[in-house]
Structure 1
Amino acid sequence: MDFDFTDEQRMLKDSVERLVKDEYGFEQRAKYLAEPDGFSRAQWARYAEMGLLGLTFDEQYGGSGCGPVETMVVMEALGRGLVVEPYLSTVVLGGGLVRLGGNEAQRAAILPRIAQGELLMAFAHGEAQSRYDLADVATTARREGDGWVLDGAKRVVLHGGSADRLVVSARVSGERRERNGIGLFLVEADAAGVTRHAYPTQDRLRAADIELSAVRVAQTDVLGVAGSALPLIETVVAQAIAAVSAEAVGAMAAAHEETVEYLKVRKQFGVPIGSFQALQHRAVDMLVMLEQARSMALFATMMSEEPDTEERNRSISAAKVQIGRSGRFVGQQGVQLHGGIGMTEECKVGHYLRRLSAIDIQFGSTEHHLAQLADAGGLIDSAA
């Protein structure tokens, strides 16, 4: 199997990495975080100019028609820079749901605006009781006239405070954890009955808790068939897991490089601490875990569009387990090898650990996916 990038993919990789290197230094990132939305609108416009926001959309919607490999390339570069713009929430999640589940009118109305940087989106799905169960939806949608009325609450909606439009999951029928009966609805973020409470997360990104009280939604704003949305949600979440796996690899690679460089310049007993064999071994262990994560991120990317749902879920869970384990190890070792300075706000490696810790629990923790993988019989089906 050929794992080499095409010329176009190499050009994309070089251009995004150059952008992150030039525009996303540690001090610059701190300035972006201090902006009202917690990210840089100017940088978002740059991403649009470079074609990054419409990367996976068809050309007729202002995109490039690319696939998961190109998303992996972009996310790894964004991970290296600890980029805080809402690429995952808008392009991968919101845009992915519309791209795969929307009708022609919805795609034509929404995707070009995302590609041009004019529309921010957020996926409002998680609830206080649902934890990692994608089918656990208590928010309700009831028929009223020729539309729907939504009631409920969503928690930790990534970039939900700055989004212009929300994709909200709600139950149209059945009990709380039933797989059938879930619908997806496009809701204007400033619609009557929508209340948002935005806050920073531990990794310095932004999220919001969203209350929905008698929010009216037209039939034209239903994605797909109301009541049959769970397979679409699972598909897009699998693609999002592949994306954050690539982001984690970028963060781990940068954390490892920062740590090795620190070992070269920090002196103790008159010599660089990198000359101590015990610390060299720990740096090598970081590299081994990084490369294991890189392999599984590639695997997740390849399997994210697998039509066999069971095979895809096993593969994505296996990748998430390795990404979580590697991310925790690389982040913690990076902080340890930096010593006391690694715990300070001024040291970049601690910020990598925060983001890697957040990725570990995003879309299901290591323990959750390990249990899922065990229930499925392991990565390689024993029956086969």
Structure 2
Amino acid sequence: MDFRLSEEQQQFSDSLRRWIEKDYAFEARQKIIHSETGASASAYAALAELGALALAVPEDAGGMGGSSEDLMIVMKEIGRGLVVEPYFATVLAAEFLKLGGAHQPLLERVATGDLKLACALSENGSGHELSNIGTLARQDGDGFVLDGAKCAVVHGGQAEGFVVSVRTGGEQRDVDGITLLYVPRNAPGLTVTDYRTFDGQRGADLRFEKVRVAASDAIGPVGQGWEILEAVTDFGVALLCAEAVGAIEAANALTLDYLKTRKQFGVPIGTFQVLQHRMADMYIHQEQARSITVLAAVKVQTASAAERRKLVSAAKVRVGKALKFVGQQAVQMHGGMGMTNEMSISHYFKRLTAIEMTLGNTDFHRSRFISQPEFAAH
């Protein structure tokens, strides 16, 4: 497989990187994450102007119809720049709307940057089990009435609408009986509690008390949402792996620069052979993570469901090992300063740690990988 970017993809990547380096330096990011909203409207508008949001939307809804490989480029640069705007949350929700069909007006607003979205998929006690859903939706007349709660909704406080997984049938852990609904932020009975997470991002808890939505707000078939739910979350895992690769590359670059400038015994510590060996191992982890992420991104929207599960989980496991090793080594080689908020390396470490726990951690995806029929057969 050719892992090189096309000329157009490289130009797009370069334009994103130039914007981040010019307008999203570490000091600017610090001000953003400590602001009231924890995100910058102007930065999000810049992403829309660059075409990053339109990439996630089909052409018939005013977008560019970009592939998962194109979105991987965006996520990699977001990881490199530690961008905290709700890009990933919105793109993931847009993928739900795209696969569900019949939501073109919402997708048109996503493409222009006019609509920020989030995905409410997790509940207290559900862990990484997406089918463990206690939020109930009963059909009532020409719509649904929701009762329940969702937690750890990435950028839920900044979203103007939510994709919510609910149960309309079956038992709490069944894959049957799951329905996906679009719920606008201003729906009566919906309470959103916003907070800042340890990695500088934003999260929110949602409470639904007799929240009514229309039948047309269903995303895909009622009671048969599992296939879309699994496919989109796998798509999200591939994008998170790309973000992690960008952050790993940046962490390695920062560490290498530090080794060249920090002196002990009158010489740069980068001349110490043991640290050179560590940097070599960090680079190997980076390249292995990059390679499997490209494979997952290329295949996640085109492979069969069985192959997609295998590739995505393999990528999350390999990237999880890489981000843990690189993050820990980078902080250690920076010394005590590496743990302080004044050093950007600590923020890369926190973000990498958060990525490892999002949409299934390393242990979850290792178990998922070995549970696949092809693995069991061997």
- What TM-score bracket applies, with the shorter chain setting the length? over 0.9
SS in structure 2 of the partner of residue 288 of structure 1: helix
Whole-angstrom distance in 2 between the partners of 1:306 and 1:44? 29
Q: CA deviation at 1:50?
A: 1.2
Give the equivalent residue in structure 1 for 2:79. 79
Matched residue type, 1:288: I
Q: CA deviation at 1:298?
A: 0.8
Could you tell me whether the CA contact under 8 Å between 2:199 and 2:351 is conserved in 1? yes
Matched, 1:230 2:229: no
Matched residue type, 1:260: L
1:261 is aligned, of 257, 261, 264, to 257
Whole-angstrom distance in 2 between the partners of 1:231 and 1:247? 25
Whole-angstrom distance in 1 between the partners of 2:343 and 2:2? 38
Whole-angstrom distance in 1 between the partners of 2:138 and 2:376? 44
Could you tell me whether the CA contact under 8 Å between 2:300 and 2:308 is conserved in 1? yes
Q: CA deviation at 1:340?
A: 0.7
Matched residue type, 2:34: A
Matched, 1:173 2:169: yes
Matches within 5 A, 1:320-335: 320-335=316-331
Give the equivalent residue in structure 1 for 2:116. 120
Q: CA deviation at 1:116?
A: 1.0
SS in structure 1 of the partner of residue 89 of structure 2: helix
Could you tell me whether the CA contact under 8 Å between 1:54 and 1:111 is conserved in 2? no
Matches within 5 A, 1:139-158: 139-158=135-154
Matched residue type, 1:88: F
Give the equivalent residue in structure 2 for 1:94. 93
Q: CA deviation at 1:56?
A: 2.6
Q: CA deviation at 1:306?
A: 3.5
Matched, 1:376 2:349: no
SS in structure 2 of the partner of residue 183 of structure 1: strand
Matches within 5 A, 1:311-350: 311-350=307-346
CA RMSD of aligned residues (A): 1.2
Q: CA deviation at 1:4?
A: 2.5
Matched residue type, 2:2: D
Matched residue type, 2:314: A
Could you tell me whether the CA contact under 8 Å between 1:193 and 1:213 is conserved in 2? yes
Q: Residues 77-112 of structure 1, C-alpha deviation per residue, up to 9 Å, x if partnerless?
A: 110000000111001x11111111121xx22x1011
Change (3 A) 1:125 1:382: closer
Matched residue type, 2:99: L
Give the equivalent residue in structure 1 for 2:132. 136
Matches within 5 A, 1:289-300: 289-300=285-296
Whole-angstrom distance in 2 between the partners of 1:60 and 1:8? 22
Q: CA deviation at 1:365?
A: 0.7
Matched, 1:194 2:190: yes
Whole-angstrom distance in 2 between the partners of 1:267 and 1:3? 37
Give the equivalent residue in structure 1 for 2:18. 18
Matched, 1:302 2:315: no
Whole-angstrom distance in 2 between the partners of 1:178 and 1:47? 38
SS in structure 1 of the partner of residue 213 of structure 2: strand
Whole-angstrom distance in 1 between the partners of 2:35 and 2:97? 29
SS in structure 2 of the partner of residue 156 of structure 1: strand
Whole-angstrom distance in 2 between the partners of 1:284 and 1:73? 25
Give the equivalent residue in structure 1 for 2:33. 33
Could you tell me whether the CA contact under 8 Å between 1:194 and 1:211 is conserved in 2? yes
Whole-angstrom distance in 2 between the partners of 1:56 and 1:123? 15
Give the equivalent residue in structure 2 for 1:60. 60
28-37 vs 174-183, which deviates more?
28-37
Give TM-score, length-normalised by structure 2: 0.98
Could you tell me whether the CA contact under 8 Å between 1:242 and 1:304 is conserved in 2? yes
SS in structure 2 of the partner of residue 225 of structure 1: coil
Q: Residues 103-148 of structure 1, C-alpha deviation per residue, up to 9 Å, x if partnerless?
A: 1xx22x1011111111110111111121111111111010111111
Q: CA deviation at 1:34?
A: 2.4
Whole-angstrom distance in 2 between the partners of 1:144 and 1:68? 37
Whole-angstrom distance in 2 between the partners of 1:2 and 1:162? 38
What stretches of structure 2 of length at least 5 have no aligned partner? none
Aligned residues: 378
Give the equivalent residue in structure 1 for 2:244. 248
Q: CA deviation at 1:381?
A: 4.2
Matched residue type, 1:206: R
Whole-angstrom distance in 1 between the partners of 2:235 and 2:344? 28
Q: Residues 29-73 of structure 1, C-alpha deviation per residue, up to 9 Å, x if partnerless?
A: 011112322011001111111111110312232211110111011
Whole-angstrom distance in 2 between the partners of 1:349 and 1:51? 29
77-86 vs 54-63, which deviates more?
54-63
Whole-angstrom distance in 2 between the partners of 1:299 and 1:349? 28
SS in structure 2 of the partner of residue 210 of structure 1: strand
Give the equivalent residue in structure 1 for 2:347. 351
Give the equivalent residue in structure 2 for 1:280. 276
Matched residue type, 1:212: F
Give the equivalent residue in structure 2 for 1:163. 159
How high is the sequence identity, in percent, across the aligned residues? 44
Q: CA deviation at 1:383?
A: 4.0
SS in structure 2 of the partner of residue 195 of structure 1: strand
What stretches of structure 1 of length at least 5 have no aligned partner? none
Whole-angstrom distance in 2 between the partners of 1:66 and 1:223? 21
Whole-angstrom distance in 2 between the partners of 1:200 and 1:248? 20
Give TM-score, length-normalised by structure 1: 0.96
Matched residue type, 1:233: L
Q: CA deviation at 1:3?
A: 2.7
Whole-angstrom distance in 2 between the partners of 1:4 and 1:249? 15
SS in structure 1 of the partner of residue 128 of structure 2: coil
Whole-angstrom distance in 2 between the partners of 1:56 and 1:86? 14
Whole-angstrom distance in 2 between the partners of 1:44 and 1:153? 28
